[in-house]
Amino acid sequence: MQSRAEKLVWQSASVAAIEPRTPTVKSFFFRLAQPVSFVPGQHMDVRLTAPDGYQAQRSYSIASAPESAGPVELAIECLADGEVSPFFHETVAVGDEVELRGPIGGHFMWRVDDGGPVLLVGGGSGVVPLACMLRHRATRASAVPVALVYSARTAADLIFGDELRSLHARRDGFHFLPTLTRETNPLPGVRVGRIDAELLGDALACLPSLPKIAFVCGANAFVETAADALLGLGIAPATIRTERYGG
């Protein structure tokens, strides 16, 4: 993890690869001029500069595992009313140069050495920093008990869905509990509906004891609902860490 001074320095990054994840999400892999180290859960700032000098910047969570020697992966959701994300989805190509700075964040972080059990709760693109934690856990061959509750609109909108199901299939202490809010033709056994106390209770039952820490990431309303439900289930407030995206 870089020092505070280093975090504030913008640097050039080239787009090494672009990979579609869902109908609205693409992963952009950035090769940085100066490689950085980071902790799962941290994010990077991205800055775009127009020919007339106008600048726009946004923050995106890091998806790649910190142990990866390759480019830094940022999963960017295209927002119809967005200022930055449509440009990435419609214009940015492999080989383009953009500005990045980071890593940033000192609260919403987890390393396998921090231990567990751990409860992860993500909504939409809020799963990205949680997936980074899980990739870190898998790379370290850790058996720390972790449960992920992930809410998406449809099965096609589950970012890293195949990878998360594959990690679940390892049976190494990781449990994946997806739920779909707008799926009209769900597969047998796939839960439909919003995250609620019942589903969170099911996730807690997968863990050997109450979580040492719980991470909740998503839009404001999602985070409020999930955090309130966890409090109602007896999870101590100091155990819950949140990260909010947009309105």
At 18-76, the pLDDT tens digits run 999 999 999 999 999 998 999 999 999 999 888 888 888 999 999 999 998 889 999 99
What Rg value do the Cα atoms of the chain yield, rounded? Answer: 18
For each of the chain's 247 residues, which pLDDT tens digit applies? 444 444 479 999 999 999 999 999 999 999 999 989 999 999 999 998 888 888 889 999 999 999 988 899 999 999 988 889 999 999 999 999 999 999 999 899 999 999 999 999 999 999 999 999 999 999 999 999 999 999 999 999 999 999 999 999 999 999 999 999 999 888 777 899 999 999 999 999 999 999 999 999 999 999 999 999 999 999 999 999 999 986 4
DSSP string covering 169-220: HT-SSEEEEEEESS-SSPPTT-EES---HHHHHHHHHHSSSS-SEEEEEEEH
Q: Name the DSSP class of 23.
A: S
Order of strands, sheet of 55-61, starting from the edge strand that comes earlier in the sequence: 55-61, 43-49, 97-104, 11-20, 25-32, 72-77
**The whole model's pTM is what?**
0.94
Taking only the tens place, the pLDDT of each residue in 11-31 is 999 999 999 999 999 999 999
pLDDT at 87: 92
pLDDT score of 82 = 87
Domains defined along the chain, listed by start:
4-104 (2.40.30.10), 112-245 (3.40.50.80)
Report helix, strand or coil for 50: coil
Q: Helix or strand or coil: residue 8?
A: coil
For residue 46, the one-letter residue type is V
The pLDDT assigned to 246 comes to 62
